[in-house]
Amino acid sequence: MRRERSSCCAFTLRLALLVGLLLGRILSGSGFCAVSDISTSYIAYCFAPNENWRLLSSGDRGATQWTDKKWSLDFFKGADWIALGPPDRCLLGKVAKIRLRARGTAKGHPVRLYLRTHFMTFHKTVGEFSDQGEQEIVVEGPPGPGWQWFGGENDGKIHGPLRVGEIRLEANGLKDRCALEMMSVTIDGSCPPDRLCVLVAETKTSGNQTLFEANVRSLSDVALKGKLIRRLRTWEGKELEQGQDEVEVPARGASLAVQIPLRAIVPDLKFLEAEFELDVPGQKVPPAQAYWLAPREPHGDSTLRPESPFGMGIYLCRYRGAEMERVARAARDAGVKWSREDFQWGHIERQKGKFDWAFHDELLACARRNGITVYAIVAYFPSWSKGYTEEGVDEYVAFLKELVKRYKNDIRQWEIWNEPNIFFWQGPRELYATLLIKSYAAIKEADPTAEVLGLSTAGIDYGFIERMLALKTPFDILTIHPYRKVLDDQAFIADLKKVSDQVKLPDGLRRPVWLTEMGWATHTPHNAIGQDFQPNTLRAQAELIARTYLCSIVSGVEPRTFWYDFRNDGDDPLYFEHNMGIMYRDFRPKPAYDAYATLTQVLEGKKFIGPVDAPEGTFAYRFVSEQPRKATVIALWNPKSDAEVSLEVNAAKATLVNTIGETRELEAMANPDLQGKRTVRVSLKKGAPIYLSFGEP
Higher pLDDT, 58 or 264: 58
Average pLDDT over residues 29-49: 78
Residue 399's pLDDT is: 98
Band of pLDDT at residue 627, cut at 50, 70 and 90: confident
**Whole-structure pTM value:** 0.93
Q: What is the DSSP letter of 537?
A: -
CA distance 374 to 342: 10
pLDDT at 30 over 50: no
Residue 97 vs residues 11, 102, 148, 186: alpha-carbon distances, Å: 18, 16, 16, 8
Residue 437's pLDDT is: 98
pLDDT tens digits for range 675-697? 667 889 999 999 999 999 998 65
Q: DSSP string covering 199-227, please?
A: EEEEEEEETTEEEEEEEEEE--SS-EEEE
Residue 267's pLDDT is: 82
Residue 206's pLDDT is: 82
Residue 674's pLDDT is: 59
Residue 651's pLDDT is: 85
pLDDT tens digits for range 244-279? 999 999 999 999 999 999 887 778 899 999 999 999
pLDDT at 23 over 70: no
Structural domains in the chain, sorted by start: 2-13+195-293 (2.60.40.2360), 38-191 (2.60.120.260), 310-602 (3.20.20.80), 607-695 (2.60.40.1180)
Band of pLDDT at residue 9, cut at 50, 70 and 90: very low
CA nearest neighbour of 496 among 455, 536, 453, 548: 548
Residue 124's pLDDT is: 98
Three-state DSSP at 363 gives helix
pLDDT at 357 over 60: yes
- Alpha-carbon Rg of the chain, whole angstroms? 28
Q: What is the DSSP letter of 361?
A: H
pLDDT at 31 over 90: no
Average pLDDT over residues 69-90: 97
Band of pLDDT at residue 668, cut at 50, 70 and 90: confident
pLDDT at 32 over 50: no
655, with CB counted inside 10 A (0-12, 13-18, 19+), is middle
pLDDT at 607 over 80: yes
Share of the chain above pLDDT 70, in %: 94
Query: Among 65-79, 190-204, 643-657, whose mean pLDDT is lowest?
Result: 643-657
Alpha helix segments (H runs only) across 417-532: 429-446, 462-470, 489-502
Average pLDDT over residues 505-524: 96
**Alpha-carbon dihedral sign for residues 573, 579, 585, 589:** positive
Residue 483's pLDDT is: 97
CA distance 184 to 178: 19
Q: Are 25 and 282 in contact (CB under 8 A)?
A: yes
pLDDT at 288 over 60: yes
Query: Among 3-7, 169-173, 200-204, 675-679, whose mean pLDDT is lowest?
Result: 3-7
Q: Residues 92-104, buried b or exposed e (16+ Cβ, 10 A)? A: bbbbeebbbbbbb
β-bridge pairing 134-140 and 94-105 = antiparallel
pLDDT tens digits for range 391-446? 999 999 999 999 999 999 999 999 999 999 999 999 999 999 999 999 999 999 99
Share of the chain above pLDDT 90, in %: 88
pLDDT at 13 over 80: no
pLDDT at 599 over 60: yes
Average pLDDT of the chain? 92
